[in-house]
Structure 1
Amino acid sequence: MTDPRALSPNPEALEFLLTRRSRPPRMMGPDTPDDETLQTLLTAALRVPDHGKLEPWRLIVLRRPAIERLATLTRARGAELGIAPERIEKDASGFDTAHLIVVVSFAPKASDKVPEAEQYASAAAVCLSLLNATLASGWGAVWLTGWRATDRPFLTQGLNLFPHETVAGFIHIGNETRTPPDRPRPDVEGLTTWVDE
C-alpha cells in the first residue's frame, strides 16, 4: 500500500515539539549563540505563514549595552506609569540578566486582502519559530511580552520603533543553567471538538 503522505516523517522533530519547554530568564546564563548560529536561527524564524508576502515584522537584535539601557528605561517608564514597584523590578530583572534578546516587532502593512489580525498572527508565528529553533539548537529561550510591548514611549525611546509598530515578542536567548520542571499542559480532549459531517 502506498503511503499517502507527501513528506517523510520526522519523529525527532515531533518528539521535540511534544516535549519543548521555555526557559525563564532566571534559568539562563550569559553565554549566547555566535553570530553565525544566530543568523541560522533568525533564518529559521522567518519561515512562517505570511499571507500576501507582506513581511509584517522586523527583527532587532539586542546585545548587552542596549539591554542594560532598556532595564534602566523599564524602571523609569514603569514608575511614570504608576506600575507597582515589585512588578517593575520583576520586569527589569529579565533585562538585568539577559545578554541577548531578539525583538520581533509587529509592523503591519496596508492591505485590502490581509487584515491586521492575520498579519499579527504571522508576527506571532515568527516569535514561536525563533523560540523553537533556539530550543532545538540546544540554547535556552523564552518569549515575553508585557506592558513594554505596547507602551509607545518605551517603544520610541527604547527601540526607536516607527509609530505603527509594536512588539510581538522579546525573545531572550542564553545558555541553560537550570532545567525548569514541566508544567501542567492543556487537556486536548477537553479543548477539541471533532466534526465529522
Structure 2
Amino acid sequence: MRVVFGVMMLCLISGQAAHAIEISQNGSTATLSGPIRDGDQFRLREFLATPEGRQVKMLRLTSPGGRVFPAREMARDIRSAGLVTIVDASRDSCNSACTGLFAAGVRRLYLNAGFEDGAAVKTGLGFHEGNAPQQSGGRGYSGPATADMNNIYYEMGVPGAASLITKATYNRMYKISGQTALSLGIATSLSAR
C-alpha cells in the first residue's frame, strides 16, 4: 500500500509540491526518497502518526540530502519511533543530511556496499563538509552546517560519522564501504538479518 496521497496533500497545502520528500509504504517498510527540504520534518512526523505509519518498523532511505534543520528533527522522530534504517548500496544513495537520518536508526543496515572508501560510485552513504548559499549566488563551505551535521551524529550516538564529514569538500561526496561503516559504528549490520 502506498501512502503517497497524504504526503501529496501536505505538499499542496504547504505550497511545496515540487522537490519534497516522498514517503511510500509496503507493509512494515516505508521508503523515504527525495531531497530534504524545510517542512519535511512535519511530513514525516504526520506520516508516522497515521495508523499506517505506526505499522512501519523499517525505513529505507534514498535521498541526495538537503537541509540540516529538518533532517535533525526527522532523525529525532526516526529514533523516537524505534525504526530500523536501511540503505542498499546496490540501488540507493543516502548523501549529506540523509546520513543523519540513517544514523537515527535503532539498527542501521548498510547492504551491498562492497566498494572501497572514496570510490566514485553514485550509490551508498556519502559524506561531505556542510555548505550554504554565498553572497556570490553560489554555494560554499559552511562551518555552521558542518557543525550541525556533526551534532546530529553525536546526538544519535554515532560519533564515528563525524570523522568522515571532512573527507570531501562541500561540493564533493566521500562514499564509504560497508566495512568502514561497520567499524565506525555508523552501520550495525551489513546484512538484512
Query: TM range, normalised to the smaller chain?
Result: under 0.3
Between the two structures, name the one with larger relative contact order (CA 8 Å, sep ≥ 6): 1
TM-score, with length taken from structure 1: 0.27
Structure number with higher strand proportion: 2
TM-score, with length taken from structure 2: 0.28
